[in-house]
Chains A and B, each alone.
Chain A
Amino acid sequence: MTWNSWFSHGAPTAGFTGGPSIVSRNNAVCNIYVRGGDNALWQKAFFNGAWHPWGRHNDGAVLASEPALGSMGPNHEHIFVRGTDGAVWSKAWNGAGGWSGWFSHAAPVAGLTGGPAIVSRNNTVCNIYVRGGDNALWQRAFFNGSWHPWGRHNDGAVLASEPALGSMGANHEHVFVRGTDGAVWSKAWNGAGGWSGWFSHGAPAGGMIGGPTIVSRNSGVCNIYVRGTDNALWQKAYFDGSWHAWGRHDDGAVLASEPALGSMGPSHEHVFVRGTDSAVWSKAWSLVPTVILHLKVLTNPTSFTVDQMVASMRDVYASRGINVAVGSRETLDLPLLTDVDVSTCIMGTTTAEQNQLFANRNGVGANHVVAYFVRSTNPPGNGCAAHPAGRPGCVVSSTSSSWTLGHEIGHVLGLPHVSPSDRLMMGNGTWNITNPPPDLIDTERATMDTSPLTVNI
């Protein structure tokens, strides 16, 4: 199990206000929704194994908050927003009928601060929660086939953020908020015992900005995520029956919004945020098909650094859900192998020098791939993926493009050349790639995923 790299989803052409919201109505679909810079609802969808372009909901709606998303079944999702009238509005999508019209849920008598939050603990129930104008928690419920009036939680709680909702089972839901003390507080409801009291989860060292977000990828796990005051992602996890300490994601990400969480299966969760570039970014935790790449450097490349090449490769592979993990990095002082004989560079055939070079697998596991960064190949090429049996890897010349590494490892994973110049595997030279980052297509992704060198970790 691992976090893959952050991946950009871009932004609507109109830009967007605040942070993203997401929902997965089943394990094959994920939708990102944002309040556009034009206050319309914008959506970007993942289905058929790929992300599709941003689209605008041209239904006249004017949003006065970020949207809140939920699902009441594998073919249903609905979206809740604050309207310009200060009421909560929603519309729903289902596989048979498409989108409904917008429908008003009015507002608590005290009004509401910010936008709504929703949760469906099963396919027959939906609850809207808001931070009231009185800073109390307010709730409006759908059950027995209809919506019921707004009600106030008269438990003395004073909210300092919008609530965040989650469920760990068909008869459980819990609500998380920021308290006036800057800590995360939660309380839970279950069918047998009703509501618990409020319980403090503390806060990351240094505190947090805004409110919490939560996700339960299965009934035994719950994760709280917040944007720390250091703008890093912070997490506090519940598993094995108890809550664990706050931890910081030291991945360099700088958040410009609260995170939005989702899950596409019991072993998967992903987090979406607004980046400092005003795009939506996400990363996922799951059993991710991963290429474990070891870097062995005889001569550093001249046009790009090794790190830039790895980043370029990650960019392309991540666009198809394949993670690239760097297993190790080593400098090899082999001056008589840095212009390595590759002969005709045909897969399955190697020269004595290739055999010698690829014998350097210090710290490399059996299913791991090695990239040897050499000065040149002989005859001259940008790289070569031919390798001795049982020693998977490639060589990359110092004159290679930033895409050569990903291209050669693509060969190692079983990909042949293709003609279009917008593809990673284009046979006419990766220096000539026309729409960086280049593409991998469905069948290529399948081939890579099937390779024993792509391991699910």
Chain B
Amino acid sequence: MPVTMRDVRAVLDPDEVDYSAGARLGPEAFDYLLALVRDTDPGLAAKAAYLAGVIRGERSEEVVAAAAASEDALVRVAAASAAALLAPASASRVLNDLVVDQDSGVQKLALRSVPADPSPELRSRVREVSAGAAEPGLRAMADNVLRGLH
């Protein structure tokens, strides 16, 4: 049975989404997830971005990156969170801008998703946060991240 938008919505519409069950949709869901990320409904876009990470396919990064470019901070929050599910190189690309996002919630999730072996660029941005974030909680998180890096 091919995956349809209806199947994707059946996974994402519940108030509490069961992402591990949704992962069974597999890579066929990516087109729909990308469409939802680009849609105007931020609630669905955020859910779609996260599911794209959970599915762990070749196009996961594409969908999560689209979410990372959203104007809506809560969609970027989902992208930052989903980045933790991407391969380290993909995660580094998606997180480069998100760790220094103007929204502290996005930064929080982005810092938490930094892979143990980040790209040099991402590593230096985490240092920026550690040194200069206005929010003390973010500086502490960034310090923590730096201590855990290889």
Contact = CB atoms under 8 A, between A and B. Distances in A.
B107 to A, nearest CB: 9
B53 to A, nearest CB: 9
B15 A376 contact: no
Contacts of A429: 13-15
Taking chain A's interface residues, is the majority helix, strand, or loop, or is none over half, making it mixed? loop
Interface in A370-417: 375-376, 378-385, 397-401, 404, 407-408
Contact of B15 (A336, A375, A379, A430): A430
Nearest to B74: A376
B104 A404 contact: no
Contact of B43 (A336, A379, A380, A407): A380
A158 B19 CA distance: 75
Given A336-B104, A336-B135, A380-B50, A375 B17 contact: no
A379 B50 contact: yes
Contacts of A344: 20
A49 interface: no
B32 to A, nearest CB: 16
Interface in A156-183: none
Which of B15, B17, B104, B137 is the most central at the interface, judged by chain A CB atoms within 10 Å of its CB? B15
Given A376-B78, A399-B46, A428-B10, A338 B15 contact: no
B47 A380 contact: yes
Contacts of B138: 336
A37 interface: no
A431 interface: yes
A338 B46 CA distance: 15
A131 to B, nearest CB: 56
B109 A339 contact: yes
A431 B13 contact: yes
Contacts of A200: none
Contacts of B60: none
B42 interface: yes
A432 to B, nearest CB: 6
A378 B77 contact: yes
Contacts of A302: 42
A385 B15 CA distance: 10
A398 B16 contact: no
A208 to B, nearest CB: 47
B42 A336 contact: no
B72 to A, nearest CB: 10
B74 A345 contact: no
A363 interface: no
Range of interface residues on A (Cβ < 8 Å): 20 to 34
B94 interface: no
A404 B15 contact: yes
Contact of A335 (B14, B49, B135): B135
A397 B77 CA distance: 13
A376 B77 contact: yes
Contacts of A432: 13
Contacts of A385: 16
B57 interface: no
Interface string B16-47: 11011000000000000000000001110011
A133 B74 CA distance: 72
Nearest to B41: A399
Given A336-B135, A339-B74, A380-B47, A427 B105 contact: no
Contacts of A338: 105
Nearest to B46: A380
A39 to B, nearest CB: 48
Interface in B121-145: 135, 137-138
A379 B137 CA distance: 21
A12 B77 CA distance: 50
Contacts of B15: 381-383, 400-401, 404, 407-408, 429-430
Interface in B68-115: 73-74, 77-78, 81, 104-106, 108-109
B10 to A, nearest CB: 7
> Which interface residue of A399, A401, A430 has the most chain B CB atoms within 10 A?
A399
23 contacts: A302-B42, A336-B108, A375-B77, A376-B78, A378-B77, A378-B109, A379-B17, A379-B50, A380-B46, A380-B47, A380-B50, A381-B15, A381-B47, A382-B16, A382-B43, A383-B15, A398-B74, A399-B41, A399-B46, A399-B74, A428-B10, A428-B14, A430-B15
CB-based closest 9 A-B pairs: A399-B43, A429-B13, A380-B46, A339-B105, A382-B15, A376-B74, A380-B47, A339-B77, A336-B137
Interface of B: 10, 13-17, 19-20, 41-43, 46-47, 49-50, 73-74, 77-78, 81, 104-106, 108-109, 135, 137-138
